[in-house]
């Protein structure tokens, strides 16, 4: 091949490439308008509601987050209402969603906006980004959706769509991969309508360009997709390394006195300010656990061990192996110490917010009791 032919082919390739980029931009928004889900936060420019939805949906599927969004809007219709709420009430509404630091940050930031910004949500990217609990993605989402500012969002869906369209094989969880994604995204981002464009590309990743088994055959962008043309859809995007999961051991003492039980308020960790049964956070044998608790509370002569229930609970970096030791007490007066207090068992998870792990235990206990009632009625 002579030099003229070589450079001619290069120019042809570059020309086709940029034509495809323009085609992506013109096809994406019509696809969104036809296929988008009807979600309440898309029907508003109220930055409070948009911020609330973004925080609730972090690490959370839309189907799971939507009921929580509706509950929060009902209970706290304004940012002032949220700011003035008790943290315990917020944690109660959040209960079951996990990642409770999000709820605490939500409350803190609501107070900052209410009392430092006079209930007016910051309207520029830098001030939004400076708020606690708000990162690059959330700041760009609020800036574009609420204020129409030209900031492109990059979340998991966008990473996947851009990686596949541009054939980016560098790991998306590494700086080099993110740098290529940002450069590629700039080529197709539409700054004249950033709100709808950002919604469109995220929705495209959620519904069309899915992590597993994407519908590439009927994809409107397949002729512009390098991963599709190179048969690499199933391996792009790539990630480097696996998240190390550390085993953690929890032993809980469930003390029962009739309908009563005994709980304490957690003061540290991811479940800070949630309520729990008395806890030992290390691996011990069953006899060691019982001896520890009976000596701590001085209840050796007043207990009867009913059951030991084992539950596994997976967090991002930890796998919790939990055991719940249920005992019956003859008296509870000596228990009310060491930040322990007495409640109705049914109030745990209702009046007193607790962790997803404890909710799992309570649900299993309730199901077990219902099965026993059914058997006894036969």
pLDDT digits (tens, 9 = 90+) for 211-242: 999 989 999 999 889 999 999 999 999 998 87
State yes or no: pLDDT of 266 exceeds 70: yes
Say which CATH topology domain 246-377 has: Nucleoside Triphosphate Pyrophosphohydrolase (3.90.79)
State yes or no: pLDDT of 1 exceeds 50: no
CB 69 within 8 A of CB 56: yes
Question: Phi-psi bin for 85: left (phi > 0), alpha (psi -120 to 50), beta?
Answer: beta
Of 16-25, 136-145, 151-160, 334-343, the least confident: 16-25
Q: What is the mean pLDDT of residues 248-260?
A: 91
19 is catalytic: no
**Segments making up each domain of the chain, as ranges:** 7-229, 246-377
Name the pLDDT band for 374 (thresholds 50, 70, 90).
very low
Q: 7-229 with 246-377: one CATH topology?
A: no
Q: Out of 54, 74, 203, 310, pick the active-site residue.
A: 54
Please report the pLDDT score of residue 281 as a whole number: 92
Task: Domain 7-229: give its CATH code.
Answer: 1.10.340.30
CA–CA separation, 374 vs 363, rounded Å? 17
Please report the pLDDT score of residue 335 as a whole number: 63
CA–CA separation, 20 vs 15, rounded Å? 9
Q: What is the mean pLDDT of residues 76-94?
A: 95
| Bridge pairing between strands 260-265 and 275-276 | antiparallel
SS3 label, residue 232:
coil
Please report the pLDDT score of residue 337 as a whole number: 64
**pLDDT tens-digit profile of 286-301?**
888 888 888 877 776 5
State yes or no: pLDDT of 306 exceeds 80: no
State yes or no: pLDDT of 5 exceeds 60: no
**pLDDT tens-digit profile of 315-327?**
878 899 999 999 8
**pLDDT tens-digit profile of 90-121?**
999 999 888 899 999 999 999 999 999 999 99
Those residues with Cβ within 8 angstroms of residue 185's Cβ, 6 or more apart along the chain or in another chain = 152, 154, 158, 162
CB 161 within 8 A of CB 205: yes
Whole-number Cα distances in Å, 221 to 171, 209, 226, 230, 343: 22, 10, 10, 14, 58
State yes or no: pLDDT of 243 exceeds 70: yes
Name the pLDDT band for 180 (thresholds 50, 70, 90).
very high
**DSSP summary character for residue 40:** G
Name the pLDDT band for 22 (thresholds 50, 70, 90).
low
Those residues with Cβ within 8 angstroms of residue 215's Cβ, 6 or more apart along the chain or in another chain = 208
Please report the pLDDT score of residue 9 as a whole number: 43
């Amino acid at each position: 091949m002579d030099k003229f032919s070589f450079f001619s082919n290069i120019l042809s390739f570059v020309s086709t490439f940029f034509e495809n980029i323009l085609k992506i931009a013109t096809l994406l928004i019509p696809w969104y308008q036809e296929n988008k889900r009807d979600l309440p936060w898309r029907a508003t420019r109220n930055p409070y509601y948009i911020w609330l939805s973004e925080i609730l949906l972090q690490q959370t599927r839309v189907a799971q987050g939507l009921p929580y969004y509706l509950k929060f809007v009902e209970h706290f219709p304004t940012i002032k209402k949220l700011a003035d709420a008790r943290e315990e009430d917020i944690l109660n509404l959040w209960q079951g969603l996990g990642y409770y630091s999000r709820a605490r940050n939500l409350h803190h930031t609501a107070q900052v906006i209410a009392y430092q910004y006079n209930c007016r949500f910051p309207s520029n990217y830098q001030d939004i980004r400076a708020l606690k609990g708000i990162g690059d993605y959330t700041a760009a989402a609020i800036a574009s959706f609420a204020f129409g500012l030209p900031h492109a969002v990059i979340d998991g869906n966008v990473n996947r769509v851009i990686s596949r369209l541009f054939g980016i094989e560098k790991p998306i969880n590494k700086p080099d991969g993110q740098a290529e994604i940002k450069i590629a995204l700039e080529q197709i981002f539409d700054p004249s309508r950033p709100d709808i464009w950002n919604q469109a590309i995220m929705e495209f990743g959620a519904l069309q360009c899915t992590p597993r088994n994407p519908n590439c055959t009927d994809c409107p962008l397949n002729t512009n997709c390098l991963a599709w043309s190179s048969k690499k859809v199933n391996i792009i995007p790539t990630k480097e390394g696996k998240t190390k999961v550390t085993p953690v051991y929890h032993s809980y003492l469930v003390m029962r006195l009739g309908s009563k039980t005994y709980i304490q308020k957690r003061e540290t960790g991811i479940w800070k300010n949630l309520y729990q049964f008395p806890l030992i956070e290390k691996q011990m044998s069953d006899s060691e656990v019982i001896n520890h608790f009976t000596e701590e509370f001085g209840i050796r002569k007043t207990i009867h061990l009913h059951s030991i229930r084992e539950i596994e609970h997976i967090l991002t970096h930890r796998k919790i192996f939990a055991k719940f030791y249920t005992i019956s007490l003859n008296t509870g007066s000596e228990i009310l110490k060491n930040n322990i207090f007495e409640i109705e068992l049914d109030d745990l998870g209702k009046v007193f917010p607790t962790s997803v792990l404890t909710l799992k235990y309570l649900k299993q206990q309730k199901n077990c009791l219902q099965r026993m009632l059914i058997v006894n009625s036969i």
